[in-house]
Structure 1
Amino acid sequence: MKILDRYILKSFITTFATVFIILFFIFILQGVWLFIAELAGKDLGVWLVIKFLLFYSPKMIPLVLPLSILLASIMTFGSFAENYEFAAMKSSGISLGRAMRGLTIFIISLSIVAFIFANNVIPKAEYKFVNLRKNIIQRQPAMAIAAGQFNAIGDDFNIKVNKKDGEKGEQLTGVTIHKRKKGEEYATIIKAERGLLTSSESSNLLQLELFDGYYYEELKTKNVRDEKKMPFAKSTFSKQIMNIDLSMLNKNNMDEEQISQTNSMLNISELNYTLDSLQNSYTKETQSIHDNIVKRTTNTLSREISTSERDLSNLEKERDTLKKDKNNLLSLLTTSKKQRILDIATNNTTSNITIIKNSKAAQNERMKNINNHWLAFFEKFVIAYACILMFFIGAPLGAIIRKGGIGLPIVFAVIIFIIFHFINTFGKKLAQENGIPPFLGSWMSSFVLTPLAILLTYRATNDIGMINMDSIIHQITKPFQKLFKLKSNEE
C-alpha cells in the first residue's frame, strides 16, 4: 500500500470511527427512550440492563453504518478539497478516481462484513432481545408491576399499585385488581390498602397477600329490574391471600428461549425454507377456498333440483323438447320449487360472499406475512449495497462542495439519508400491503439514489463542478453583511 493510500485510508477511518460511535450512541439512547417503561422502576440489575441494550444494539447497525459512511466520506473528501490536497494530487498526476481506489476496496470489504453481520448476528440478537423482554416479565412478575399504572399478570389479572416499597418492591400500597377470565363479560374488582407480593422460582404460584380491603363482583341476572336493584355484591376483608397461577409463564427461564421466530430472527437459508413453506401454504389455501365454494354451490343446487316429483315417463317425453330448447329446463319444476331454488340461490350467494370476504382477509394477512419475509430477505443485501452507495455519493459530493468539518457536510448527509430512509420506509410499507413487489419495495431507495451516485462520481472524477458553494454561501450571507455594514455606518 502506497503512502497516499495509507494517508487517505487513515483519515477516512479516523473520521468514520468517530462519527459511527457518536451516531451509535445517539441511536442507542433513542432505544432506551422507547423502552424506558420496561426498564424504569422495576429494580432490574445492572447486568440485565446491559444485556437488554446489548441485544438491542445490533439492529441499529443498518441505520448507523450507511449514515456514518456517508457523513465520513463527505467530511474527509470535503476536507481534502478545502485544504487543496486534491489540487496537489492532481498536479502530481493523481486523479480523484485513483485517490478513491484504496477506500473503494475498504468500503466493499466493509459491505461484505455488513452483509455477514446482518445475516448472522442481527437475527440472533433480535431473537435474544425479544426473549429477554418476554422473560423479564414472565420469570419475575414482581418486576412487571410498575407503580401508577395497570399491569397485566397472567391472563386473568390486571393489577395497579400506587406505591412500591421494600428491597425488591414486594410491599405494595393502594392495590387495585381487576380479575376477569377470558370470554367473561363481568369482572371482580378488588381494592386493598396494603399488599405483600411473594414468589419463588421453584413455584408456579405468585402469592399476593392483601390487607384491609374490599371487593365487589358484578352480578349477571336475566331480569333487568333485578340487575338494577342489585348490580353487584360487595364484601370486606382484613386479610386475603390470592394465588395467581404462573405455570404457563414459568416454563422458561432467563437463558431458555421458547418464543416463535419471526422474519427478523431468520438468516437467508432459514428465510428461504420458511418462504417456500408459506408460499405453498398460501397456494393450497387459495385452492381449498375455491374448491369449497364450488363444491358448496354444486351440492346445494343438486340437492334441490331433483326429479323425484316427476316420474321417468314424463322425463322421457320431454327429453326431445329439452334437447331443442335447453331454456325449458325450468318448466320441469313447479312454482313452489322455483321459489325454493331462488331462495336457496340467494342465501347461497350471500353466504359465499361472506366466506369470500373472510377468506380474502385471511389470505391478505398470509400474503403480508410472506411479503415481510421477502423484505427481511432482501434487506440483508440492501444493507451491503447501501454502504457502497453512500460512499459513492459522499466522496464525490465532498470533493465538489469543498467543505470539510461538521457544518455543511452534516446538512447534506442528513438530507440525503432522510431521503434514503423515507423512500425505504415508504417502499416497505407499500410492499407489505402488496401494492408493489417486495423486491421493488426493498430496493426502491437504492434505485432512486443510484443515478445520483453515478452523476456525482462522474462529475467529480471529470472535475466538473455541479454548484459553486462559495457563490451560494456568499449570496446567502450578502444581505446580512449589508445590514451589519449599514448599522456600523449609522453608529
Structure 2
Amino acid sequence: MKILDRYILTSFIQTFASVFIILFFIFILQGIWLFIAELAGKDLDAWLVLKFLLFYSPKIVPLVLPLSILLASIMTFGNFAENYEFAAMKSSGISLNRAMRSLIIFIFGLSIVAYFFANNVIPKAEYKFLNLRKNIIQRKPAMAIVEGQFNSIGTFNIKVDKKSGENGEKLTGVTIHKRKPGAVDVTIIRSKTGLLKSSEKSNLLQLELFDGYYYEDISSNNPAERQKQPFAKSSFTKQVMNIDLTMLNSNDEDEEQIAHTNNMLNVTELNYTLDSLQSTYNKEAKTIADNIVQRPYNTLAPIPKPIRAITDTLKAKEVKKAAIDSLPKDLLGVVQKVDRVRVLEVANNNVVSTDYVVSSGEKDLFEKVKNINSHWLALYEKFVIAFACILMFFIGAPLGAIIRKGGLGLPIVFAVLIFIIFHFINTFGRKLAQENGIPPFLGSWMSTFVLSPLAILLTYRATNDIGLINMDNILMPFQKAFNKLFKSKTKEA
C-alpha cells in the first residue's frame, strides 16, 4: 500500500470510528428511553441492565452504520479539500478516483461485513433480547409491579403499597381491578398481603393473596335495580390468581399484530419460512374459494324442485350453450306463488352469508399477506444495509470534495438532511409494502433507488471538477434584469 493510500485510509478510519462511537451511544440512549419503563425502579442489577442493552444494540447498527459512513466521508474529503490537499494531489497527477481507490476497497469490505452482521448477529441478538425481557420478569416477578401505582398487566390493574423480600416477591396492601374486555362491570380485590411466584418454563405469574375481600358488580336486567348499583362481597383467607405475562413480552416499538419471528431468521431460514407461508396461503385461498362456490348449492334443501333442476344444470362441469339458452329467463316464473317468498328468503340468506364468508376470508388472507410481506422485507433488508454503506460513501465522498468544508459544521447539516431523506423513504416504503400497497422488493429498495441518481451525479461532478451548483447561471438573469431596470430609470431622470 502506498503512503498516500495509507494516509487517506487512516484519516477516514479515525473519523469513521469517532463518529460511529458517538452516534452509537446516542442511539443506545434512545433505546434506554424507549424501555425506561422496564428498567427504571425495577431493582435490576447492573449486569442484567448491561445484557439488556447489549442484546438491544445490534439492531441499531443498520441505522448507525450508513449515517457514520456518510458523515465520515463528508468530513474526511471536506478536510482534504479545505486544506488544499486535493489540490496538491491533482498537481501531482492524482485524480479523485485514484484517491478514493483504497477507501472504495475498504467500503466494499465493510458492506460485506455488514451483510454477515445483519444475517447472523442481529437475528440471534433479537432472539436473546426478547427472551431476556421474558426471563427478567419470570426470574424477578416483582419487576412487573411498581410500588404505589397501578400496573396494567393483561386484564388486571395491580397496585401494591410496599414490596419486600430478596426479589420483592412479598407484597403488602394489594389492590386489584379486574375488567373483562368490552365489559362494563369491574371486580375489585383487596388483600393485606400477597406473594408472587413464577417459573422460567411458564408464561404465568402466580399471585397468592391472603386476608382480603372480593367485590364484584352485579348486572341486572331491571333498570331500577341497576340504579342501586348492586354488588357482591365476600372474604377469603387465601386466594391464588394466575396472570398471563405474554402481553409484557410484546415489542412496544412495533404495534403491528404480526409475529416478530422474521427478525430472528437468517436468509436461509427466511427462504424456507416464506415457502411454507406461501404454500399455506395458497391452500387457504383455495379452500375459501371452494367454500364460496359450493355454499349456494349446499343450501338448496328448502328450494322447490324446478329451481334445483336449473341449478343442477348450471352446476354440471360441461354446460352446453343450448342448454343455457333453453333455461327460463324468469326463474320465479317456474315456481308456484306460495313458494316464491321462501325462494327469495333463501336467496337473501345465501347472499348475506356468502358476503360474510367473503369478508372474513379476505381479512384472514390479508393478515397472511402482511406476514409474508414482513418476511420478504426482513430478507431484503439484509442486502439493503450492505448496499446502503456503498451508497452513502459515494454520496458523502464527492459531496465533501465539492463543498470543501470539514469539521462538524456544514458536513453534519448535509449528512443529517440526506440521512433523514433516506430513512423517511425507507420507512415509508416498508410500511407501504407491508400493507401490500407495493411489492416488498420495491418497498425495501425504494430509498436506494431514489438516492442512487444523487450519488452518480455527485461523483460525476466531483471527478470532473464541477461545483455542486453554479450560482452564476442562477444569478446572471436577475443581474441583467436589474441592470436594465437601473439604466432605464437613470435615462428617465
In structure 2, the partner of 1:475 is none
Distance verdict in 2 for CA 1:227–1:55, change over 3 Å: same
Q: 1:343 aligns with which of 345, 355, 363?
A: 345
The alpha-carbon deviation at position 236 of structure 1 amounts to 6.3
The alpha-carbon deviation at position 109 of structure 1 amounts to 0.4
The alpha-carbon deviation at position 167 of structure 1 amounts to 5.0
In structure 2, the partner of 1:189 is 188
Q: Distance in 2 between matches of 1:243 and 1:422?
A: 49
Instruction: Please tell me whether the aligned partners of residues 209 and 238 of structure 2 are also in contact (alpha carbons under 8 angstroms).
Output: yes
In structure 1, the partner of 2:266 is 267
Q: What pairs up with 1:114-129 in 2 under 5 angstroms?
A: 114-129=114-129
What are the Cα deviations for residues 206-244 of structure 1, in whole angstroms up to 9, with x where unaligned? Answer: 454556x6442222445444454461123568xx43333
What are the Cα deviations for residues 386-425 of structure 1, in whole angstroms up to 9, with x where unaligned? Answer: 0000000000000000000011000000000000000001
Q: Distance in 2 between matches of 1:329 and 1:227?
A: 54
Instruction: Please tell me whether the aligned partners of residues 142 and 197 of structure 1 are also in contact (alpha carbons under 8 angstroms).
Output: no
Distance verdict in 2 for CA 1:72–1:333, change over 3 Å: same
In structure 2, the partner of 1:279 is 278
The alpha-carbon deviation at position 463 of structure 1 amounts to 1.1
Q: Distance in 1 between matches of 2:53 and 2:84?
A: 43
SS in 2 for 1:93: coil
The alpha-carbon deviation at position 324 of structure 1 amounts to 5.4
In structure 1, the partner of 2:217 is 218
In structure 2, the partner of 1:9 is 9
Instruction: Please tell me whether the aligned partners of residues 307 and 335 of structure 2 are also in contact (alpha carbons under 8 angstroms).
Output: no
Q: Distance in 2 between matches of 1:455 and 1:184?
A: 61
TM-score scaled by length of structure 2: 0.83
Q: What pairs up with 1:168-179 in 2 under 5 angstroms?
A: 168-170=167-169, 172-179=171-178
In structure 1, the partner of 2:89 is 89
In structure 1, the partner of 2:355 is 353
Distance verdict in 2 for CA 1:49–1:340, change over 3 Å: same
Unaligned runs of 5+ in 2: 250-258, 310-321, 475-493
SS in 2 for 1:304: coil
Instruction: Please tell me whether the aligned partners of residues 301 and 341 of structure 1 are also in contact (alpha carbons under 8 angstroms).
Output: no
Distance verdict in 2 for CA 1:346–1:335, change over 3 Å: same
Instruction: Please tell me whether the aligned partners of residues 322 and 328 of structure 1 are also in contact (alpha carbons under 8 angstroms).
Output: no
What are the Cα deviations for residues 8-28 of structure 1, in whole angstroms up to 9, with x where unaligned? Answer: 000000000000000000000
Distance verdict in 2 for CA 1:247–1:451, change over 3 Å: closer
Q: What pairs up with 1:404-443 in 2 under 5 angstroms?
A: 404-443=406-445
Distance verdict in 2 for CA 1:56–1:144, change over 3 Å: same
Q: Distance in 2 between matches of 1:333 and 1:241?
A: 70
Q: Distance in 1 between matches of 2:21 and 2:367?
A: 39
Q: Give the counterpart letter for 1:452 in structure 2.
A: L
Q: Distance in 1 between matches of 2:426 and 2:448?
A: 8
Q: Mean Cα displacement is larger for which, 282-291 or 226-235?
A: 226-235
Q: Distance in 1 between matches of 2:177 and 2:124?
A: 37
The alpha-carbon deviation at position 462 of structure 1 amounts to 1.1
- 1:53 and 2:50 matched: no
Instruction: Please tell me whether the aligned partners of residues 23 and 64 of structure 2 are also in contact (alpha carbons under 8 angstroms).
Output: yes
In structure 1, the partner of 2:38 is 38
Q: Distance in 2 between matches of 1:129 and 1:40?
A: 17
Count of residues in correspondence between the two structures: 450
Q: What pairs up with 1:371-450 in 2 under 5 angstroms?
A: 371-450=373-452
Q: Distance in 2 between matches of 1:151 and 1:321?
A: 71
Q: Give the counterpart letter for 1:404 in structure 2.
A: G
Instruction: Please tell me whether the aligned partners of residues 210 and 241 of structure 1 are also in contact (alpha carbons under 8 angstroms).
Output: yes
In structure 2, the partner of 1:295 is 294
SS in 2 for 1:190: strand
The alpha-carbon deviation at position 277 of structure 1 amounts to 1.1
In structure 1, the partner of 2:239 is 242
Q: Distance in 1 between matches of 2:155 and 2:405?
A: 62
Q: 2:371 aligns with which of 369, 372, 376?
A: 369
Instruction: Please tell me whether the aligned partners of residues 147 and 160 of structure 1 are also in contact (alpha carbons under 8 angstroms).
Output: yes
Q: Distance in 2 between matches of 1:248 and 1:407?
A: 48
Q: Distance in 1 between matches of 2:419 and 2:325?
A: 73
Unaligned runs of 5+ in 1: 253-259, 311-319, 473-491
In structure 2, the partner of 1:232 is 231
Q: Mean Cα displacement is larger for which, 50-59 or 344-353?
A: 344-353
Q: What pairs up with 1:132-211 in 2 under 5 angstroms?
A: 132-152=132-152, 157-165=156-164, 168-170=167-169, 172-179=171-178, 186-192=185-191, 194-199=192-197, 206=206, 208-210=208-210
SS in 1 for 2:215: strand
Q: Distance in 2 between matches of 1:230 and 1:44?
A: 44
Q: What pairs up with 1:453-468 in 2 under 5 angstroms?
A: 453-467=455-469
Q: Distance in 2 between matches of 1:137 and 1:285?
A: 38
Q: Distance in 2 between matches of 1:283 and 1:9?
A: 52
In structure 1, the partner of 2:303 is 304
Instruction: Please tell me whether the aligned partners of residues 135 and 200 of structure 2 are also in contact (alpha carbons under 8 angstroms).
Output: no
Q: Distance in 2 between matches of 1:411 and 1:261?
A: 35
The alpha-carbon deviation at position 180 of structure 1 amounts to 5.4
What are the Cα deviations for residues 144-171 of structure 1, in whole angstroms up to 9, with x where unaligned? Answer: 1113443355x66431124445653345
Q: Give the counterpart letter for 1:364 in structure 2.
A: F
Distance verdict in 2 for CA 1:322–1:169, change over 3 Å: closer
Q: Give the counterpart letter for 2:261 in structure 1.
A: T
Q: Give the counterpart letter for 2:193 in structure 1.
A: G
Distance verdict in 2 for CA 1:301–1:234, change over 3 Å: closer
The alpha-carbon deviation at position 353 of structure 1 amounts to 1.2
Q: Distance in 2 between matches of 1:23 and 1:308?
A: 74
SS in 2 for 1:47: helix
In structure 1, the partner of 2:21 is 21
What are the Cα deviations for residues 292-344 of structure 1, in whole angstroms up to 9, with x where unaligned? Answer: 0110112224751415999xxxxxxxxx9997563365443201222221221
SS in 2 for 1:262: helix
In structure 2, the partner of 1:257 is none
Distance verdict in 2 for CA 1:325–1:173, change over 3 Å: closer
